[in-house]
Amino acid sequence: MLDIQERATALLRRFYGYNSFRPLQLDIITTALQRRDCVVLMPTGGGKSICYQIPAMMGDGVVIVVSPLIALMKDQVTALTSNGIPAAAVNSMQTEVENHHIMQQLFTGRIKILYISPERLLMEIDRWSRDLKISLVAIDEAHCISQWGHDFRPDYTRLAKIKELYPHVPIMALTATADRLTREDIARQLRLHDPKIYIGSFDRPNISLRVMIDPGKGKRVNYICSLIDRYRHDSGIVYCISRKRAESMNAELKLRGYKSVVYHAGLSVTERNAAQDKFISGDVQVVCATVAFGMGIDKSNIRWVVHNNMPRNIESYYQEIGRAGRDGVKAEAVMFYSYGDIATLQSFVDESGQQSINTEKLNRMKEYAEASLCRRRILLSYFNETMEHDCGNCDVCLNPPERMDGTTPVLKALSAIVRVNGMVGVTMLIDILRGASRQELIQRGYHQIKTYGAGRDMSFAEWNNYISQMIQLGLIDIAYNEGNHLKLTSYGAKVLTERSQVMLAKYIPFERSSGKRTKSKEVVEPQLTPAERLLELLKEVRLKLARKEQVPPYIVFSDKALLEMVRVEPTDMESFSKVEGVGEKKTVKYWKPFVTAIRKFKGISEPLGTGLSHEETLLLLNAGYDVEAIAEAKNIKPQTVYNHIASLIREDKLSEFSSVITREQYLRVMEVAKSNPEDMYLILAKEMPVGLPAVALAMSDFLLRHKANS
Ligand code: ADP
Ligand code: ZN
């Protein structure tokens, strides 16, 4: 038990650069190694992948990962190989030659993790003889197997075959969304044997939550622009209710000079992939999208998600905001909502064929949006998780609404509704109250009613906000089936006749409530703190490396890792290798550019020592790399590595040789060195790697030295 824990933690440190496991990860890994089935429920960003990746490095077989998200496999494989973990993918996006080649490598044990699509797995699995040693089958997005889930895929149901063919291979089913019913269904459909169930916390405390009544399009777009400006090195998503709205938001942002793309199901696959690639690689800052976007996106530096319109249920909402801040660094989720959206959503529900359950879900979403309690508590209670205290990171916690006597505006609005016989919507009602003289209003004779102009003292936005509250309080109802006209509820009628007191949350003008204003282009750049400046520098280094290697920047390092570098300020390889989020392979590959930037920033002028290449070799040797692997990681010849080792031995920095040279090899070198000193290198070159004799000689000196000392 302890043994597993120690080994797993060492691998986590070595390959990912993380110091400790998150809750449940170690238990899940242990279960897999004990060859027991399990179902893992964790939110997006919770750290599911590590649960099946670490077992791949601990067992002697391969881990097969079944995932429907073919488009993202390449990305996952790149992330793994960049950490030094041999992984590959087999799917319909690659040529048959490539796929065939990968399957061969799999059989020769050169791949530890194989990503595969369900249909491909079903094609291959019969052909796989029992020779292929599978240590675990991980089923990602496992809710796809269930008709109860929200993304049923018929192909998934045939995965029951895995258990039939390999009854003794453990299965790990993973998902971010599953209620109890779906969870049980997953276990049944996959024929799992007495699976262990792991349910991670759905809390994502680093994401701040905020809901705002729609202040109108212009201000909404300004707000989004201010977010882009604030996080100009990172990216965000704007979720819209329809393709049309996504298109128009995209056009709007582009018009204002921002790099934006659009993504929805109406685009061709090629267009969608291109948009996704641009977003993942950081070429654009924003994607304006419908719900079609985002499944499986694991870009770690998404800093904000805006819901331009209210989503249809809390599950979708939670999954969508969960795409932000996956690195654990602070992120923002902002939602705008309006009664117009609710009308649209209601019409979706009416067409959905599952009216009662979907209405219920929409109502829960509405309650969340309108809440005056800590929003995170509401969210978590939706997922049956209780939170004992307020979160301190949502708009309600941060700016508790100030209460005021709202009786006067309430009576004005209610009486106006009665006088127009409940025949107007929100906009017309406000126009009447504010005494507007637009044509339609005059034509209908509304300028002659008693409350016309009675609310001139308040702005349109202010009225809009108060009327929303009156709807939330149940004083007014919206007749969605009658052109969204406003009607008095019986409670509203009672308040009107009894003139009873009503409290409202005091309106805060949008500009003030939304924090920073959008800066116009002339405004000077904000003053950065030294830490922020260093972070920007490191992001530039990262971007350059990413461009050179043609990978997305977060594959090089996550934002979180960069923040750690800013905190620790490593000025040599050793301290760099200890930064959280920096694994071995990345130490070797990247320490120089980052350490150089940090040294320059700190004004350290003395250049980096040149002998450091030996130190790198030492670090890798100590971490268990063999000579071949070191040569590959550093992209140098094995001979050079042997030279480093010889020098290290001479400098007394290395005293464990068994992984470098065998006893027989050592004795053979000694023998030839004695009998045939002139030609020894020529003779030995035929028998052992070039460079190894030099190591043997250094070793012999070392042994003499130490014999003399003791
Ligand atoms: P999921 O698959 O559950 O959506 P991931 O496996 O992609 O989540 O993990 C989300 C992020 O958290 C990744 O950037 C991952 O590297 C990071 N992460 C996972 N486990 C740990 C850990 N033990 N310590 C630090 N970071 C972790
Ligand atoms: Zn809160």
- 610 pLDDT band, cuts 50/70/90, is very low
Other CB atoms closer than 10 Å to residue 652's CB: what's the count?
Answer: 10
45 lines ligand 1 (CB under 6 A): yes
**Is the Cβ atom of 22 under 6 angstroms away from ligand 1?**
yes
Quote the ligand 2 centre to 209 CA distance (angstroms): 8
Cα torsion through 475, 481, 484, 490, rounded to 10: -10
Q: Which of 43, 644, 612, 8 is CA-nearest to residue 325?
A: 43
pLDDT band at 236 (very low <50, low <70, confident <90, very high): very high
Distance CA 366, CA 528 (A): 39
Q: Using CA of residue 240, residue 246, residue 252, residue 255, what is the dihedral sign? A: positive
With a 6 Å cutoff on the Cβ, whether 312 touches ligand 1 is: no
The whole-number pLDDT of residue 142 equals 92
The count of other CB atoms within 10 Å of the CB of residue 154 is 10
| Closest C-alpha to ligand 1, atom 26 | 18
The CB of 41 under 6 Å from ligand 1? The reply is no
Backbone angles phi, psi at 477, to 5 degrees: -120, 150
pLDDT band at 118 (very low <50, low <70, confident <90, very high): very high
SS (H, E, C) 571-639: CCHHHHHCCCCCCHHHHHHHHHHHHHHHHHHCCCCCCCCCCHHHHHHHHHHHCCCCHHHHHHHHCCCHH
Query: Is the Cβ atom of 44 under 6 angstroms away from ligand 1?
Result: yes
Ligand 1 atom nearest to 46, measured from its CA: 3
pLDDT at position 409 over 90: yes
**What is the three-class DSSP state of 449?**
coil
Q: How many angstroms separate the CA atoms of 433 and 427, rounded?
A: 10
Per-residue pLDDT at 545: 95
Residue 335 pairs in a beta bridge with: 211, 307
pLDDT in tens, 647-705: 889 888 887 888 888 899 999 999 998 998 888 888 888 889 989 999 999 999 888 88
Report the SS3 class of residue 392: coil
Nearest residue (CA) to ligand 1, atom 25: 18
pLDDT of residue 615 exceeding 80, the answer is no
Residue 19 has pLDDT above 90, yes or no: no
How confident is the model at residue 514, as a pLDDT?
54
Regarding the beta carbon of 50 and ligand 1, being less than 6 Å apart is answered yes
Residue 30 near residue 136 (C-beta atoms within 8 A): no
Q: Are strands 485-488 and 476-479 parallel, antiparallel or unpaired?
A: antiparallel
* Residue 47 CB–ligand 1 contact under 6 Å: yes
Token digits of residue 602: 């700190």
Question: Between 214 and 224, where is the model more confident?
Answer: 224
Model confidence over 337-386: pLDDT tens digits? 888 888 889 888 888 777 777 888 888 898 899 888 889 988 887 776 77
Whose atoms come closest to the Cα of 399: which ligand? 2
pLDDT reported for residue 518: 42
Q: Is the pLDDT of residue 100 over 60?
A: yes
Task: Label residue 572 by pLDDT band (50, 70, 90).
Answer: confident
Pairing relation of β-strands 87-90 and 113-116?
parallel
pLDDT at 57 over 80: yes
Instruction: Print the SS3 string covering 265-281.
Output: CCCCHHHHHHHHHHHHH
Mean pLDDT of 375-401: 84
Give the atom of ligand 1 at the shortest distance from the alpha carbon of 554: 14
The predicted model gives 119-141 an average pLDDT of: 87
pLDDT of residue 607: 72
Contact 128, 158 (CB under 8 A): no
pLDDT digits (tens, 9 = 90+) for 523-533: 445 678 888 89
CA-CA-CA-CA dihedral for 605, 610, 613, 615, to nearest 10: -70
Amino acid at 684: L
Between these two residues, 710 and 237, which has the higher pLDDT value?
Answer: 237
- Give the end-to-end CA distance of the chain in Å, rounded to a whole number: 40
pLDDT at residue 636 tops 50: yes
Residue 569 has pLDDT above 90, yes or no: yes
Burial of 142 (0-12, 13-18, 19+ CB in 10 A): buried
pLDDT at 519: 42
Residues, Cβ < 5 Å to ion ligand 2? 374, 376, 390-391, 394, 397
Looking at residue 517, what is its pLDDT?
A: 41
Return the residue matching tokens 């009628």: 493
Percentage with pLDDT > 70 across the chain = 94
Q: What is the pLDDT of residue 611?
A: 45
pLDDT of 609 reads: 58
For the stretch 479-523, pLDDT in tens is 877 878 999 989 899 999 999 899 888 887 766 555 444 444 444
Q: Which of 70-74, 94-98, 423-427 has the lowest mean pLDDT?
A: 70-74
Q: Is the CB of 298 under 6 A from ligand 1?
A: yes
Identify which of 22, 29, 301 to mutate to test ligand 1's pocket (most ligand atoms within 8 A of the CB). Answer: 22
pLDDT per position as a tens digit, 152-202: 788 888 999 999 999 999 999 999 876 777 788 899 999 999 999 998 888
Provide the pLDDT for residue 523. Answer: 43
Task: Report the C-alpha gap between 51 and 200 in whole angstroms.
Answer: 12
- Kindly state if the Cβ of 215 falls inside 6 Å of ligand 1: no
pLDDT the model gives residue 183: 83
Least confident of 45-54, 108-117, 322-331, 621-630: 621-630
- The pTM (predicted TM-score) of the whole model is 0.68
Show the beta-strand stretches assigned E in 299-357: 302-307, 331-337
Q: What is the rounded average pLDDT for all residues in the chain? A: 87
Provide the percentage of residues in the chain whose pLDDT is more than 90. 47
Q: DSSP secondary-structure letter at 394?
A: B
Query: How confident is the model over 245-281, as pLDDT tens digits?
Result: 999 999 999 999 999 999 999 999 999 989 998 998 8
630-650 mean pLDDT: 85
Model confidence at 592, pLDDT cuts 50, 70, 90, reads confident
Report the C-alpha gap between 68 and 75 in whole angstroms: 14
